[in-house]
Amino acid sequence: MSDAAGIDAALRAIARALRQICLLQETGRNEEAAQLEPVLLDPLIQSFRDSHGADSLSEERLQSLRACERERAGDAAALGELLAPLLLEQLRRPLDSLRSPPAAFPLRPASIVSPSPTTAPEIADLLDGMLAQENDRSARRPRHRP
């Protein structure tokens, strides 16, 4: 890969990392975003500066990249809110004609998270269900005075 192509590729990787972080911040997942900075973004920046010189990526330029990705993430989140229901509607129509009716799921107590039977359950949501059950059991356990 030529020097210019290598620099481009490295800058794109930094921009992607910034995009991921800004998207997390935009959707309120600030702790996850804070976690990603040192493990994903910082190593990429350090590697770029090590390869192309300490002045090759100024703080000003980095802030400008961050502002650009923040705006992009904001636009994407707003667009997502508008498009998601429309896309879901459109995707459901052809799939419904191929698939037999989804199985109904047994009734469970309200404390148990029960995701939609037409989508693969998210692991984090399932864990929420597990933690809710643990909290229920803990609340019902008799407390012993010391």
Partner 1 sequence: MTTAPAEKPFVTTAAPAATPPITRKSDRKVILAGFDLGTNKSCILAGPAGTNDMAVSKIVPTVIGYVKEGIVDGIIAGNATILYGEDALKNFLHVNLVAPLHNGVIVHPDAARDFLRHIRSLVDAGATADLRVAVGVPANTEEADRETIRGCAAGIFDRLLLIPEPFLAALGYRDDSRLNQPNYVDPVTNSLFIDIGGGTSDLCLIQGYFPSRDDQVCIPFAGDAIDGLIHEDINRSYPGNGLSRQTVREIKEAHSYAGPIRKPTDVKVIIGGKPRMLELGETIGRACNTLIDRIYPALTTLIVRASSDSVVQLLQNIIITGGGSQVRGIDTVLQKRLEDDGYESPKVRLAGQDYKRYVALGAFKAARAARENQWQHVLD
Site for partner 1, rule CB under 8 A: 29, 31-32, 34-36, 38-40, 95, 98-99, 103-109, 112-115, 117, 120-124, 126-131, 133, 137, 141
Question: Minimum Å distance from CB 3 to partner 1?
Answer: 27
Tell me which amino acid residue 119 is.
T
Question: Minimum Å distance from CB 97 to partner 1?
Answer: 11
Q: What is the C-alpha separation between 84 and 82, in angstroms, rounded?
A: 6
> Measured from the CB atom, is 79 or 127 closer to partner 1?
127
> Measured from the CB atom, is 29 or 70 closer to partner 1?
29
Question: Minimum Å distance from CB 20 to partner 1?
Answer: 9
Residue 136 C-alpha from the chain's centroid: 29
Cα 2 to Cα 44, 45, 76, 117: the distances in Å are 19, 20, 33, 50
What six digits make up the tokens of 126?
A: 């399932």
What six digits make up the tokens of 129?
A: 């269900």
> Measured from the CB atom, is 80 or 117 closer to partner 1?
117
Residue 94: φ, ψ to 5°: -70, -35
Question: Minimum Å distance from CB 18 to partner 1?
Answer: 14
> Measured from the CB atom, is 5 or 123 closer to partner 1?
123
Question: Minimum Å distance from CB 51 to partner 1?
Answer: 20
> Measured from the CB atom, is 35 or 63 closer to partner 1?
35
DSSP code per residue over 83-120: HHHHHHHHHHHHHHHHSPPPPPPPP--TTS----TTSP
